[in-house]
Every structure is written in structure tokens, then in C-alpha cells.
Structure 1
Amino acid sequence: METTKIQSGGGLNVTLTIRLLMHGKEVGSIIGKKGETVKKMREESGARINISEGNCPERIVTITGPTDTIFKAFAMIAYKFEEDIINSMSNSPATSKPPVTLRLVVPASQCGSLIGKGGSKIKEMRESTGAQVQVAGDMLPNSTERAVTISGTPEAIIQCVKQVCVVMLESPPKGATIPYRPKPASTPVIFSGGQAYTIQGQYAIPHPDQLTKLHQLAMQQTPFTPLGQTTPAFPGLDTSPPASTHELTIPNDLIGCIIGRQGTKINEIRQMSGAQIKIANAMEGSSERQITITGTPANISLAQYLINARFRDVAAMWNDPSSMTTS
């Protein structure tokens, strides 16, 4: 088997890092209730297993350790996913069991070695392990990494991962790698009583980060219609407050940073806030432009926050502390 190659070179003491890309549901399964599952995996495999933070639809699971501990961790993950598939099938009429699928994140500079000349290496992996292996043609957004999807029975996946590890050890990445970082979920954000909330399913989850702090700053600096309700409103429900209008005046020399190149920034603010935003044409002799924001109080307050945050970004870029306090 391929691993003998590593063993003969003392490779079982070689520390390797493998990154996996998982959906939120898969991550939940790996973490388990109160973190019990991942704790057990760490203890029994001896590998370090780290899960990226953040409210993202995708998360990165990093497994680090000597190769034998990595194989144990992978085996535990593959069997856990198979268990999840069996459990989900007991509630569905499907008769054929879908394969277990893992997505590895591999530096693009190593993908050529995984594929081999004319696809010879990837073909050999498929044939010798029985697993399906696919290397994505495109790099993952804002990175120099590609997704390598391995699917099959847990046993096939484990054998395949061993072979992938061998290739990665034999062909280290060339040049600097820009790691893939999943983007946060673009869940709607609503404001109520000075607190930001994100909508997840049917629930509003408090959003405890800088958004709220910045929003409170924006509220202090801009007169706005406060929300009447103390509980967050859900989009799509008839209980949402009626639409209202708010007007802002912006100095002419700052309007460009709100509009952005070809209107990109203002369109982004419209999309994120859900408010209608109209910018009046420049009036002769006037040094200011009128902005009219229409929508529910929550839409308006979010639009104002985003406009204020845009001023802060620009002020920070100018590195002028005085302009940051008057934004």
C-alpha cells in the first residue's frame, strides 16, 4: 500500500495539515452535542481538529498531526457521516444508500501532482481505492486553493485520503498559498431597540459584533425613526411597520463615496437594507445633495447605518481622525 512509502522514510512522524470544507450541517454533526463528538475524535485520534469560526454556510475543518493520527481522524469523520446518512434514510423512502462525501481544500500548486500526467495519478487512485475523486477546475474564491471531492464508502475514502496525503508529502506546495476563507452568510440583518439581529430560519438571533456598535454610533449621529416594537419583526409577516420616508443631506464632495464606481456602493446599500434610496440631482449653487430613504423603520435605520459606515471606511482610508467623528 502507498503508506509504506511514508513509513520507510519515518513518515509517520511527519506532521501534516489537511483542510476540509464542510457545510454547517456537517460541522454540527462533527461537533456533536456540547462538543462531545469532536472532543472524542480529538482524544481517540490524537490529531488536532480545529473548526473555523463564523456564521458561514461553509466552514473549514483543519486536521493537523502525524499522518497516522490524521488517518484515524478521517476514519472517524467518514464513519460519522455514514451514520448520518443511515439515520436520514430511515425517514425517507430512498432505497439506495448515497456515498459519503468529503471535500478537501488543497493548494492549487499540488493539484497537478494529484491529477498526474494525463490524469494517470487520479485514475490510479480511483481504481485502487474504489473512491470517486474529482479535482475542481477553478480555484475557490479569493484563494489559491481548489476543492478535491472524494466520495464512496468510508473504507474507500480512508484509503484514498492516505494516497492523497502521500502525494501532498511528496510534492509540497510551490510558492505562497492564499487559503480559502468562507464568506459569512448573507443573512438579513434587522435592527430593533439598538440591537442587530440576523434571521436564521424562523428565529431572530442577536448579532453581537461590531455591526451593533457601529449601528449605535450611527443612530447617535443621525436622527431616525425609532422602531416601535421591542421584538424583532420577521420579513414577510404582515405585522411589519408601514413604510416611511427619511431624508438626509450629504455634502457634494462626499456623495461619490456613497454612490461608488458605476453605482456599485449605493446598489449594495439598497440590496442590504431593503430600502429604496433616491439621490437628488445636484442643485445649482448648492454644496449639498438630498438623499431620500423609503422603507420600514428597520430598512431605513439599516440604510443609515450602512451610509454612516461607508463614511467611516472612507475617513479611515484618508487616515483623518477628525473626519471620523463628524461622519
Structure 2
Amino acid sequence: METTKVQSEGGLNVTLTIRLLMHGKEVGSIIGKKGETVKKMREESGARINISEGNCPERIVTITGPTDTIFKAFAMIAYKFEEDIINSMSNSPATSKPPVTLRLVVPASQCGSLIGKGGSKIKEMRESTGAQVQVAGDMLPNSTERAVTISGTPEAIIQCVKQICVVMLESPPKGATIPYRPKPASTPVIFSGGQAYTIQGQYAIPHPDQLTKLHQLAMQQTPFTPLGQTTPAFPGLDASPPASTHELTIPNDLIGCIIGRQGTKINEIRQMSGAQIKIANAMEGSSERQITITGTPANISLAQYLINARFRDVAAMWNDPSSMTTS
């Protein structure tokens, strides 16, 4: 069957599929309360908008339809992201508005056409639309696709997407494409005290694919440890191993970054690890404070990991003041 090609603004009016890679927060913004935002986008653009299964830090948003409906859907997404940026800026001292950024997932066999000979095509796209366009050098894991990042004003992004669609229609993918599928939130794997963990939403989950032998005690853990819950997560399973205690000594001048403003950080660590954490009062003449962590070996390991991670974050912020978004 032959596809009828109708010339329309910015490209050919044929059915096309564009895949976008988004973080969970961005996907939440697109879905909206009770799915209202995505429903409105589908209705007003006329494009099919599908979102890959959850439980992944990254999700794939697939937009399919005639090119004019795709451009409308992209416009709605770009303006929604701009609105999110404006809303987030109302609580921050920053004065310059950061650009809207979208990441497309494109078969690697089409990336050469997007870049053009000696980078001529990508240069032309940047100059004619005012958007920044970057094609990743490496393919996305376990796929034959690359990420193409577009950033700029919503208007620049829409013009740029139109040009990318034209290139993709003129240069179809060669050979079979292995699509990128984001992995479930099993990364990063955290190794701590011989036990590996993943953080999934509100759970600290002992990780199954371990490279090191699990602690015998940790093996007796119930598979899920919901926040602050000491009874087994599943009825019928044995209770957690007996509680033990671990002590840490932390310099006085660093204790603040562990406690956080009004105790927010320490409470977060308590919740995520399920451990009890007590910070001793400052002793006269001592430059250090004692921290006592009580819980199962797995809870203690996770609490230690989260405390170390907090120090790493703070050190990174000191080294790079521009990254100071959390305190």
C-alpha cells in the first residue's frame, strides 16, 4: 500500500512515530492529576501518546500520528515543561530562565543524516531554529538507538522537531532497530556491608543479583522493608533478624549536614533505612559527636550508606557551588 504524501508546513503529512526519553518527574508532569493533562494533549493534538510502564527512573513517551498532530503534541509538551520551569523559579533566586529540554530517541542509522556531512545538517538546524541540538556519541544501553537532546524556547524546539521529522522521513532507518527500553529502578545497586540494595520509591530492597555473597543475616530479611515498618512485609514470613547496634563518630562541624534543616535529613535517613538513629549531645571539649544506629544488620548498612551518601553530596556541593540546589 502506498502512502499518500501531502505537503504541509514544516514537512510531509504522513504518519510518523517519535520516541522521547523522560525522567519520572517529567512524565508525572505530562500525565497530570488523574491523567488529565495527557488526556487533554491526546484530544487537542489528535496524536496517540503512549507512556512506557512505570517503576523505571526513565520512561519512554511514544507519540504517533500524522506529522501535524505530532507537532501539536510536541508544542503542548514543550509549553508544559516551560510552565514547570517558571513555577519552580518562583521559589528560587535565579533570574535567568533555563531552556526547555527534550530528549528524542532516534535509531543510530538515522543519526548520520541528522548530523549531515561534516556536521552541516545539525549546524543548519541550530542556526535556523535557535535551538541547541546534540546527538549522543554512544548508543543507549542494549539498543541501536541514540539520544538526541534539543533545548531552547518552546518555539525553537517545535521548529527543530519539524526539521528532524523531515530528515527522519527522508532517511528511513537502515536494518533492524533494537529499541531502547529503560531498565526498572534496579540501578544504582548499592553495596554496603556485604549486602546490595536498591531504592525503589518508599522501599529499600535487598537486591537479588548480587556479586558478593549475602550476609546470612541479611538473607533472613523479608524482601521488602517498608519505611519504618518492623513487622514482616508479608504475612507468614519470619520476623526480621534481632536488632543490633552500630556506633559512628562524626566531627561536630559536619553533624549539621546529616541532621538537615529542622531534622529533615536525619528523619529521611531514618525513614528510608528503617533504623533508629540517635545523635549524642555535644560533649564539652570534644570536637566529635557519637551517632548510634540500631536495627537489623540490613537497616544499619543502609543507614550507613545514606549517611555516607549525604557527605558525598555535601562535598560535591562545596566543590561545585552551582549545583547547590539542596541543603
TM-score range, shorter chain: 0.5 to 0.7
Give the aligned partner of residue 29 of structure 1: 29
Provide the secondary structure at the position in 1 that maps to 2:228: coil
Partner of residue 115, structure 1:
115
Q: Could you tell me how far 1:110 is from its partner in structure 2?
A: 0.1
2:222–2:232 Cα contact (<8 Å) kept: no
- Count of aligned pairs: 327
Q: Return 161-170 or 180-189, whichever deviates more.
A: 180-189
From the superposition, tell whether residues 81 and 270 of structure 1 become closer, same or farther in structure 2 (CA, over 3 Å): closer
Q: Distance in 2 between matches of 1:301 and 1:268?
A: 15
**Cα separation, partners in 2 of 1:241 and 1:106, compared to 1, 3 Å:** same
SS in 1 for 2:84: helix
- Per-residue CA deviations over 1:176-214 (Å, capped at 9, x if unaligned) read 000000011127999999999985565679999999999
Would the aligned equivalents of 2:230 and 2:240 in 1 still touch at CA under 8 Å?
A: no
- Taking the aligned partners of 2:237 and 2:287, their CA distance within structure 1 comes to 41
Residues 258, 266 of structure 1: 8 Å contact kept: yes
Structure 1, 114-123 or 306-315: larger mean CA deviation: 306-315
**CA deviation map 1:203-255 (0-9, x unaligned):** 67999999999999999999999999764699999998546999999999999
1:197/1:232 contact within 8 Å kept: no
In structure 1, distance between residues paired with 2:220 and 2:75: 54
* Equivalent residue runs for 1:204-215 within 5 Å: none
- Map Cα deviations across residues 292-319 of structure 1 (whole Å, 9 max, x no partner): 9999487999999999999999999999
TM-score by length of 2: 0.61
Call closer, same or farther: CA 1:271–1:81 in 2, change over 3 Å.
closer
Preserved contact between residue 234 and residue 240 of structure 1 (Cα < 8 Å): no
Instruction: Report deviation, 1:54.
Output: 2.6
Q: Would the aligned equivalents of 1:196 and 1:207 in 2 still touch at CA under 8 Å? A: yes
Compared CA separation, residues 249 and 60, structure 1 to 2 (3 A) = same
Contact 1:99/1:153, CA 8 A, preserved across alignment = yes
Cα distance in 2 for partners of 1:182, 1:256 equals 37
Stretch moving more, 286-295 or 94-103: 286-295
Distance (Å, rounded) in 2 between the aligned partners of 1:226 and 1:94: 37
Of residues 241-250 and 161-170 in structure 1, the stretch that sits farther from structure 2 once superposed is 241-250
Q: Report the CA distance shift for 1:171/1:278 in structure 2 as closer, same or farther (over 3 A).
A: farther
Per the alignment, do residues 153 and 243 of structure 1 end up closer, same or farther by CA in structure 2, a change over 3 Å counting? same
Q: Which moved more, 1:246-255 or 1:289-298?
A: 246-255
Question: What CA distance in whole angstroms lies between the structure 2 residues aligned with 1:141 and 1:189?
Answer: 17
Cross-structure match for 2:51: 51
CA contact (8 A) 1:192 1:229 kept: no
- Provide the residue aligned with 2:70 in structure 1: 70
Greater Cα shift, 305-314 or 72-81:
305-314
Q: What secondary structure, in the 3-state scheme, does the structure 2 residue paired with 1:185 have?
A: coil
Measure the CA separation in 2 of the matches of 1:39 and 1:213.
48
- How many angstroms apart in 2 are the aligned matches of 1:280 and 1:97? 44
**Identity percentage of aligned residues:** 99
Q: How far apart, in 2, do the equivalents of 1:169 and 1:318 lie?
A: 48
In the superposition, the TM-score normalised over structure 1's length comes to: 0.61
Output the aligned Cα RMSD: 14.5
User: Is the partner of 1:61 in helix, strand or coil?
Assistant: strand
CA distance in 1: counterparts of 2:175 and 2:46, whole angstroms: 30
205-214 vs 274-283, greater mean Cα deviation: 274-283
- Max Rg structure: 1
Unmatched runs of 5 consecutive residues or more in structure 1: none
Greater share of helix residues, 1 or 2?
1
Distance 1:170 1:195, change over 3 A: same
8 Å CA contact retained: 1:2, 1:162 = no
In structure 2, what is the equivalent of residue 259 of structure 1? 259
Q: Which moved more, 1:243-252 or 1:142-151?
A: 243-252
The CA deviation at 1:13 is 4.0
Give CA deviations for 1:19-64 in whole Å, capped at 9, x if unaligned. 0000000000000000000000000000000000031110000000
Equivalent-residue separation in structure 2 for 1:294 and 1:94 (angstroms): 41
Give SS of 1:74's match: helix
Task: Tell me, in whole angstroms, the C-alpha distance in 2 between the residues paired with 1:131 and 1:77.
Answer: 16
235 and 178 in structure 1: CA distance in 2 versus 1, 3 angstrom threshold: farther
In structure 2, relative to structure 1, the CA distance for the partners of 1:281 and 1:203 (3 Å cut) is closer
SS in 2 for 1:5: coil
CA distance in 1, matches of 2:324, 2:131: 56
> CA offset at residue 119 of structure 1?
0.3
Equivalent-residue separation in structure 2 for 1:306 and 1:98 (angstroms)? 30
Q: Distance in 2 between matches of 1:120 and 1:325?
A: 37
SS in 1 for 2:179: coil
Contact 2:257/2:314 (CA < 8 Å) preserved in 1? yes
Indicate the SS of the match to 1:124. helix
Question: Do the aligned partners of residues 184 and 165 (structure 1) sit closer, same or farther apart at CA in structure 2, a change above 3 Å counting?
Answer: same
Q: Closer, same or farther in 2 for the Cα pair 1:277/1:100, shift >3 Å? A: closer
Q: Give the secondary structure class of the aligned counterpart of 1:326.
A: coil
Quote the Cα distance in structure 2 between the aligned partners of 1:72 and 1:39.
Answer: 14
Indicate the residue corresponding to 2:41 in structure 1.
Answer: 41
